[in-house]
Amino acid sequence: MNAYLDATHDPALRSWVESANAPCSDFPIQNLPFGRFRLAGETAWRLGVAIGDQVLDLRAAGLVDHADMNQLMQATPQERRALRLALSDGLREGSSQRTAFEAALVAQSAVELGLPCEVGDYTDFYVGIHHATEVGRQFRPENPLLPNYKWVPIGYHGRASTLLPSGTAFRRPLGQVKAPDAAQPVLAPTAKLDLELELGIFVGRPNALGEPVRMQDAEAHVFGITLFNDWSSRDVQGWEYQPLGPFLSKNFASTVSPWMVTLEALAPFRLPFERPAGDVRPLPYLDSAENRERGAIGIQMEVVLQTERMAQAGHAGDVISRSNFSEAAYWTVAQLVTHHTVNGCALRAGDLFGTGTLSGPEKHQAGSLLEMTTGGKNPITLSNGERRAFLEDGDTIVLRAYCEREGARRIGFGECRGTVLPSLQMQGEAA
């Protein structure tokens, strides 16, 4: 058996939680993602693991003696594997612990799911090379990628206070915008509200200030991966981003899915990481044999757009994009951790990295409307006849993702859902 795989990955393994055995379940016993939940009327969060359509209360099951996810995330890889094995042993068919675990189960439909942990800092990267190329082409047709792109993982620091749990609606933001032929900018609700299909990478183990994390140690500092939608105001962004980069165009709302799929669960879906022939090799501090051998992860992702009219008609929405992390990303999880700390930056448990928009090379694989519609010039037509250049009030975006391959059990990430509400200014004007 692969050194990274163990009995918890056995595709034949079944759970006594019957819903976990359904072929379409995102949360079979081979997954076991972590998140936080609370019951009606509660203010404090509990620690949970998703299994089928249920959530296992880790404290009630006797697996932890606290309710601090950030503390749990600091476990060593060995401690994480031991907890995963204990969960698998207790949830598998025929387990002697069934009675104790069964008493700690709650239906996911009966609980509130929040952000999976407390997030202190948030960094957004730009690892999607097809996205970077297409967006660059809209502004620099002859030279879409800037010279540093293939040498350094580009990123900027975001705003943790506006991270939203899946299912939260948010208001269309205001910002300064300037028309090309206008003499001066105006303050207005964004007219070019966009989605960004991303993954979120959660730091588990911290590193000390001044001590960089080496490539061979980088993944020991990562707890898990979620879905992430970094909503963007493209008209605000176009006016404000020079010379220091994104600001108000990015920090008004970012939606995070509730379940962290661990690197242990993703082990069967690792792939070789290969750059295109002829591309530069990364600097030595961003390179390792293990990263080349298994640095990529095969995660299939999709974007669903449901308009308000669709929702009223009972229509679940249209899939408007599909792409894969392994094909979209120019940098790996380990490279992001190593580069973020190479200057001595201290990471803490719960820090979040956004990957940046993960688009494939084709138009139907675009992870943003900016790409799909060529900056709004070519709106997409939905199945009910509605058209979209950018998002309108009442629109809902749902991100989904899953991993599957022959010889392994399919696992999923749940969903990352957000709905656009009218801006306060627009409501005031209407009144």
Q: 3-class SS at 397?
A: strand
* Cα–Cα distance measured from residue 359 to residue 371, given in angstroms and rounded to the nearest whole number: 9
Token pair 């009030």 is found at 393
The verdict on whether omega for the bond into residue 141 sits within 30 degrees of 0, i.e. cis, is: no
Q: Is 52 left (phi over 0), alpha (psi -120 to 50) or beta?
A: left
Task: Specify binding-site residues.
Answer: 124, 126, 140, 196, 198, 230, 237, 241, 250, 254, 357
Task: Specify binding-site residues for substrate.
Answer: 126, 140, 237, 241, 357
Asked if 213 contacts 341 with a C-beta cutoff of 8 angstroms, the reply is: yes
Which residues pair with residue 177 across a beta bridge? 186
131 is catalytic: yes
State the DSSP code for 213.
Answer: P
Q: Which residue type occupies 266? A: L
* Cα–Cα distance measured from residue 261 to residue 287, given in angstroms and rounded to the nearest whole number: 25
Asked if 360 contacts 327 with a C-beta cutoff of 8 angstroms, the reply is: yes
Asked if 421 contacts 172 with a C-beta cutoff of 8 angstroms, the reply is: yes
Which run of H or of E encompasses 107?
Answer: strand 105-107
∠ Cα 133 135 139 (to 5°): 105
Task: Specify binding-site residues for Ca(2+).
Answer: 124, 196, 198, 230
Q: How is residue 431 written in tokens?
A: 């009144």
Which residue of the set 9, 131, 339, 340 is catalytic? Answer: 131
Asked if 125 contacts 339 with a C-beta cutoff of 8 angstroms, the reply is: no
Q: Where are the beta strands (DSSP E) in 214-317?
A: 222-229, 232-233, 254-256, 261-262, 270-271, 296-297, 300-306
Burial (Cβ within 10 Å: 0-12, 13-18, ≥19) of residue 143: exposed
* Cα–Cα distance measured from residue 338 to residue 91, given in angstroms and rounded to the nearest whole number: 36
Token pair 């900056």 is found at 375
The count of C-alpha atoms lying within 13 angstroms of the C-alpha of 284, restricted to the half-sphere facing its C-beta, is 0
Which run of H or of E encompasses 164?
Answer: strand 163-165
Task: Specify binding-site residues for Mg(2+).
Answer: 230, 250, 254
Active site residues: 131
